Structure 1
Amino acid sequence: MGKHHDEDHRAGGGSAHSTRADLSSPILQAAIRSHNGDAVLLASPSESLIALPTPEQKDWSHPLSSYFISSSHNTYLTGHQLYGESTTDGYKNVLLRGCRCIEIDVWDGGDGEPEVFHGYTLTKEIKFEDVCKAIKKYAFTRDDSEDKEEMAKYEGAGEGPVIISLECHAKEDQQRKMVEIMERVWGEMLVKDVEPEEVGELPSPEELRKRIVVKAKYTPPEQDPAGMVTAAITQPPKRSSSGWSRRSSSDSSSDSELEELSRQAKKQKPKKAKMIRPLSRLGAYCSSHHFPSRDPGRPFVEHKTSLLANHVYSFSEKVFASHHEKWREDIFTHNKGYLMRVYPFGLRFSSSNGDPVEFWKRGVQLVALNWQKCDEGMMLNEGLFAGEGGYVLKPDGFRPGDAPPQYKQLDLTIEVIAAANIPLPDKNDKAKSFEPYVKVEIHVPGDIPNSKEKLKGKTKAKRGVECAWNEKLEFKGVQGVVEKITFVRFKVHDEEFGVDDLAAWACVRLDRMREGLRVVRLFDNEGGHSKGVLLVKVAKRVY
């Protein structure tokens, strides 16, 4: 809405506020005194509503499949899925915000160099090598500069391994070029020289610290000879009124999306191409396999592919929902020990997102979101991954050998006391006409239905960017709670005729929510850090 941000400091998961809150407002000072609070203490990030983990508290010793991993869809895009700009800044943006699984959509380039862009759209192509260089530069926390301000930009990246979800549509010669580029640019960062067939268990994030892991389609060794590669012969790329026209291949994880785009572009879906063994071999720890959907039995838990330690199944949210109707319990069992990726349906052209909690509660590790848009999905992603370096150990009941998860109940009371420096919904808005109210929503993973009244509450509207409410919002007997994937979302809206514009927000994981008098640091409506603060008093009981 007309705002301009430092892209390195936006919501996503690695962007938790690390500076002291500005509590100088007379309204806040008076409110803090009336509750016998200490403004100096409350301003500290270590005393805010969110109890962020310290490095010493992080357990990175479990296999990759035991973690929720912050993931991006169509990472190269910075806006609309059909005509948004493709840029290496898309990778810089999400990596510095804590994303640990990024997508590269690779096609044959007209000059013999592989390119990255969104097939059958008007998006502009970028060089695959430029993308690889950007990933190398921004993937991990840096300690090689005396410029503290420069190094602070990399704090969100952390040291957790970066997974490259490689969607390869290129033919054989440019696939070989891709392998050469990745090995040359990433050097020792790249995990290689591991045979996919010899992987008996997945490594841990600790073992892969500051490494780059490729997720690639599996090709058996005997299918590598050039004579068996069925890549379609392609012509140099040409523009048309309906977008790009390419004849190539799609990886299994993007089949449904490519099919939708080709239908929209009134083009025939391209024929399959084999991925060459040298490229497939880079995916030793994240080996993409076709899901055996025609198996008449229980394919998620009994088919031989589903028992491979390193296999990854990828589904669009629509396909996942269809499978879930048939194999609900088996999907959860599968995801205790094996990786799965779910990505937005191909017709979400505006870069919107679904509810990621629907997939996290099924144990899906790689819930890929469109980071181009700050919507409910990205707010919840921020809630899960804030300060976590992109990896969150799954709750009890979600990992191998665990008993079924225990769903609990919640009583929560939030006294909304006051706020200051609330960002306006739009740069052209006036503070004197701004009428903010605070809405609190609870997002639970359980399938037991809760009434709307149990999950949502709001204050009355006030006036101005600094105001006091002193209203209690109570949520009693909320069912279906698993604390690590239950979220409390604060939203500040401007009361208007028609739609009430969103001004600011925050999202907190229930297990990270501190009780007592606390400060909530607010993001603006585009996900940028703001000076806005909300003073609240919290009491919770989980039983």
Structure 2
Amino acid sequence: MAPLPHGVAQKHHLSFHSLVSMTTLMAPTHHHTTPSPPTVPYLSHPVQAHLKKIYTSLCGESQFVSREALAAFLKDVQGQDIPLSEDVKEYTFSDWLALLWMRGGFEGVGALAGNKDLGKPISSYYISSSHNTYLSGNQLMSKSTTDAYKNVLIRGCRCIEIDVHNGEPAVSVSSRLPHITGTTPSDLAVSAIQAKKKYKRMYKAEYKAKLGSLKGKIPWGRSDGKKEHAGADVGEKSGSGHTLGHKKTASNVPSISREKTSDSDSSSSSDDDSDLEDGSGEKGSRSRSGSVLKGEPVVLHAWTLTRAVGFREVCRAVRETAFQTTNLPLIVSLQVGCDVDQQEVMVQIMKEEWAGVLVDVAHPTCHPEERLPRLDELLNKILIKVKRSTEVPPTEPPSPDVSMSASSNPITPLTTSTTASTTLSSRPSTLTPTPTISTPLTPTTSHDALDALSVSSRSRSPSLSGSRSRSPAPKNKARGINPSLSALGIYTHSSHFSSLTASSASIPSHIYSLSEGDILELFAASPNALLAHNRSYMMRAYPAGHRIDSSNPDPSVFWRKGIQMAALNWQVWDHGTMLNEAMFADSDGWVLKPPGMREGAEVAELDAHKVEGKLMDLRIRIFAAQRILGEEELRARVKVEVHAERAGEKAGEEWKRHTETKRGASVDWEGERLDFLGAGPGVVEELSFVRFRIEDDGFTDTLAAWACVRLDRLQNGYRFLKLRDAKGAATDGLLFIGVEKIER
């Protein structure tokens, strides 16, 4: 290498060979200790060639890049403010590369701005949420495990789900059959198990055929009495915070593996009692674990052949990991399928295992009928979401043709909670429980002012009438909610949805849970009413019942409707979990909503067609990728998908573009450009996403690696994106791209 010319600071000069030969790319860290400075990783020849072209273009007629040219490049192209030393007049290629890399000048995902605002009511945040958290695979035949809870909590989930059913009675009853409903297995389930025992040893092929014929007849679903039929062959998809002070990185935490079992699930069974094979053909030890104590409730998916795990073991696993990576609150959504006596046991277990963190009484300064607590009042706390033992029945049926105007807002909280940001030092950091207020509280009469909505319009919407959503408990159902369990749903109580104008819709602590299809129909009918409700009150969306393979919907569709909790199946990696990863990256599972979608916004700002947004163009250039599958070669193409609000016929759909297919372990696409023009109007960058899929372009377009970025954090200019593998684990692969976001 030629000697440095006069004016180039020796202390900034690094050997290019030493830079590009380094093989360690430091992952971001969130520990208290000072992180090690990033180093330039090994860069493949295609990547080096593109970087050299960029550098040469900045040099102009000179041999080196001047300080002025570099400053203009940072401002006009990269859109970043990186201080440059006055003593350095020129930069060699190695100097330029080292400076930009080590100062974040090539980082594709921008840092979150400032400190998190914790001074808003909890309805003003999006919450990273899990559906059927206990399952390790599909919805019909996979195993319930405590590892599933540990996995999602370490990865940043802050709303988990526990389905609780009757366990074995304290008096021994001779039965070694898996639970189907939480009490008694169905005849078809028993038939499936008997078929396995009969054919397993001698007639393996015949056994599989017999068992396969029964799979499609097994009743499934939640505790709603429905017995729809599942597909004949259920295949499992391959699975798989920065806190305020003590976040541990979870960037390399893969999704839970079906081969791995927790201590509580690891006991093996005899050959006759061994578990049914799951959809992937793998065998799991599904015998009843020794940790499931008799007389205590269990956790499993009702009306299926999923295997149970003890409720106490789940609570213990949650306590161990709930605040391991963040001190922000955790919401536990209980689906109760056990009788009132077992519910009393549930309460005892939760108070024992979650002592000191469970919110079990209301705070005297935060009455649940007056306001929702602020996020900073719930640090290191667990909230219970459960139905009330008695609810005021809805008096008015819904109507899809009524929407809200700026002058008439029927969703009015009983009292207005403060929305101004305040510092943690100006008030107590948490809601310290005190027994001065008893719960549960009787719901008050709604202040709604809308007229009653017609039953006939409701009947036109089969989804809203409950055909696909979780059905409520029957009116005269003997198995109700124990008052002592109901009393734990203080600030987050489940409420059966009937109408956005029902009396329950203005109680601050209520949470409506609706399936994805119900929400889409409700929004199509009354968009402004739904947006207005969700700025002050809580709502949860969950996957449709037909997703027995544990696939996920696009959660950004629900976030754009103001829904706080879009519950997903975390045991698979698909577009839903990828978008969720991008949404909550570095956020501890709580993300503040855009101003127009949270409490305090004017109703006019919440008009479905005027929610803060913009019309914009997005231009992506794909330069090169390295170490996509390590050193393995592949026929690779990059598919780019933009998930953003769009007008016209394509509203709600993502845009897709892809590059040509190139071969290699480090692939060069030569800067191929993919344009997404005219997104919007109404694009909210905080609720829009760009997903990069690198596919092995064979017969099945197998996913090789991916990256997903929230649009407001995708930085302009020349950028590197860190790649994850198909199971969600971080790799040392990199994708080099160019980004240009243009507002119209």
TM-score normalised per structure 1: 0.79
Residues of 2 paired with 1:456 and 1:378: CA distance?
18
For residue 625 of structure 2, the aligned residue among 397, 402, 419 is: 419
**2:624 corresponds to which letter in structure 1?**
A
Paired residues of 2:135 and 2:143 also in contact (CA < 8 A) = yes
Say which SS state the counterpart of residue 324 (structure 1) adopts: helix
Question: Which moved further from structure 2: 347-356 or 26-35?
Answer: 26-35
Count of aligned pairs between the two proteins:
461
2:49 pairs with one of 22, 27, 30: 30
Partner of 1:237: none
Corresponding residue for 1:513?
714
Does the CA contact (< 8 Å) of 2:615 and 2:679 recur in 1? yes
User: Contact 1:70–1:99 (CA<8 Å) still a contact in 2?
Assistant: yes
Q: Give the direction of change, closer, same or farther, for the CA distance of 1:447–1:71 in structure 2 (3 Å limit).
A: farther
Please report how far the alpha carbon of residue 96 of structure 1 lies from its aligned counterpart in structure 2 after TM superposition.
0.7
Alignment-derived partner of residue 564 in structure 2:
365
Residue type of the partner of 2:52? R
Distance 2:112 2:377 in 1: 20
Alpha-carbon distance in structure 2 between the residues aligned to 1:392 and 1:461: 37
Counterpart of 2:332 in structure 1 is: 164
Name structure 2 gaps, 5 residues minimum: 1-26, 28-36, 56-92, 169-293, 393-437, 439-465
Matched AA of 2:679: V
Tell me the equivalent position of 1:50.
Answer: 109
SS of 1:409's equivalent in the other structure is strand
- 1:138 alignment counterpart: 321
User: What residue in structure 2 maps to residue 206 of structure 1?
Assistant: 376
Quote the offset at 1:33 in angstroms. Answer: 2.6
Q: Trace 1:95-174 onto structure 2 (pairs within 5 A).
A: 95-110=153-168, 111-141=294-324, 157-174=325-342
Which residues in structure 2 correspond to 1:522-537 (within 5 Å)?
522-537=723-738
| 1:242 aligned partner | none
Q: Following TM superposition, by how much is the alpha carbon of 1:220 offset from its aligned partner in structure 2, in angstroms?
A: 4.4
Q: Does 1:467 align with 2:467?
A: no
**What is the rounded CA distance, in whole Å, between the counterparts of 1:51 and 1:452 in structure 2?**
25
Are residues 383 and 272 of structure 1, via their aligned partners in 2, closer, same or farther at CA, if it must alter by over 3 Å? Answer: farther
Partners of 1:23 and 1:39 within 8 A in 2: no
Q: Relative to structure 1, is the Cα distance of residues 437 and 289 closer, same or farther in structure 2, using a 3 angstrom cutoff?
A: same
**How far, CA to CA, are the matches of 1:361 and 1:318 in structure 2?**
15
Kindly provide the CA deviation profile for residues 176-204 of structure 1, in whole angstroms up to 9, marking residues without a partner as x: 11111111111111111128974311112
Matched, 1:71 2:90: no
8 Å contact from structure 2 (residues 583, 710) kept in 1: yes
Residue of structure 2 in register with 1:234 after alignment:
none
In 2, the alpha carbon distance for the partners of 1:71 and 1:19 equals 32
- Bigger strand share: 1
Aligned partner (choices 327, 352, 361) of residue 551 of structure 2:
352
CA distance in 2, matches of 1:499, 1:164: 39
Contact 1:21 1:531 in 2 (8 A): no
Summarize the Cα distance change of 1:256–1:98 in structure 2 as closer, same or farther, 3 Å threshold. Answer: same
Higher relative contact order (CA 8 A, sep 6+): 1
- Structure 2 match to 1:482: 684
Give yes or no for contact 1:99–1:390 (8 Å, CA) kept in 2.
yes
Q: Who is 1:233 aligned against?
A: none
Deviation of residue 69 (structure 1)? 0.5
Which residues in structure 2 correspond to 1:392-403 (within 5 Å)?
392-402=591-601, 403=605
- Equivalent position amino acid for 2:558 in 1: F
> What is the correspondence of 1:189-338 to structure 2 with a 5 Å cutoff?
189-194=357-362, 198-220=368-390, 271=477, 273-291=479-497, 293=498, 299-300=499-500, 302-338=501-537
Contact 2:470 2:515 in 1 (8 A): no
* Cα 1:21–1:186 shift into 2, 3 Å: farther
Q: Do structure 1's residue 441 and structure 2's residue 641 form an aligned pair?
A: yes
Task: Flag the 1:93–1:41 CA change in 2: closer, same or farther, 3 A.
Answer: farther
User: How far did residue 314 of structure 1 move?
Assistant: 0.7
**Local SS of the residue matching 1:435:** strand
Deviations 1:228-268 (A, max 9, x none): xxxxxxxxxxxxxxxxxxxxxxxxxx9956679xxxxxxx9
2:574 counterpart residue number: 375
The Cα shift of 1:219 comes to 2.4
For the 8 Å contact 2:645–2:679, the answer to whether it is kept is no
Contact kept? 2:368, 2:509, Cα under 8 Å: no
User: Residues 412 and 447 from structure 1, CA distance in 2 versus in 1: closer, same or farther, beyond 3 angstroms?
Assistant: closer
User: 2:235 is matched with which residue?
Assistant: none
Residue pairs, 1:487-498, within 5 angstroms: 487-496=689-698, 498=699
Distance apart, 1:21 and its partner CA: 7.1
Aligned residue identity for 1:184: E
Partner Cα separation in structure 2 for residue 423 and residue 73 of structure 1: 31
State the match for 2:350 in structure 1: 182
Amino acid at match of 1:273: R
Cα 1:337–1:172 change in 2 (3 A) is same
Q: Cα deviations across residues 428-478 of structure 1 (Å, max 9, x unaligned)?
A: xx934x111112111113454459999332221111120221222222222
State the 1:98 CA deviation.
Answer: 0.7
Aligned residue for 2:597, secondary structure, equals coil
- 1:94-126 deviation digits (Å, cap 9, x = unpaired): 111111100000001112101101111111111
By how many angstroms is 1:533 displaced? 0.4
C-alpha change, 1:453 and 1:463, in structure 2 (3 Å) is farther
Give the C-alpha shift of residue 270 in structure 1. 11
Q: Is the partner of 1:363 in helix, strand or coil? A: coil
Residue 221 of structure 1: how far off its partner (Å): 10
Tell me, in whole angstroms, the C-alpha distance in 2 between the residues paired with 1:499 and 1:80. 22
Counterpart code for 1:179? V
Amino acid of the structure 2 residue aligned with 1:423:
L
User: CA deviation digits over 1:393-443, x for unaligned, max 9?
Assistant: 11121112322312311122222111101027xxxxx934x1111121111
Question: Percent of pairs identical after alignment?
Answer: 40
CA distance in 1, matches of 2:470, 2:518: 14
Question: Aligned partners of 1:259 and 1:415: how far apart in 2?
Answer: 48
Deviations 1:6-58 (A, max 9, x none): xxx9xxxxxxxx9767343233233223222744455559552111326x421
Equivalent position of 1:145 in the other structure: none
| CA pair 535-93 structure 1, distance change in 2 beyond 3 A | same
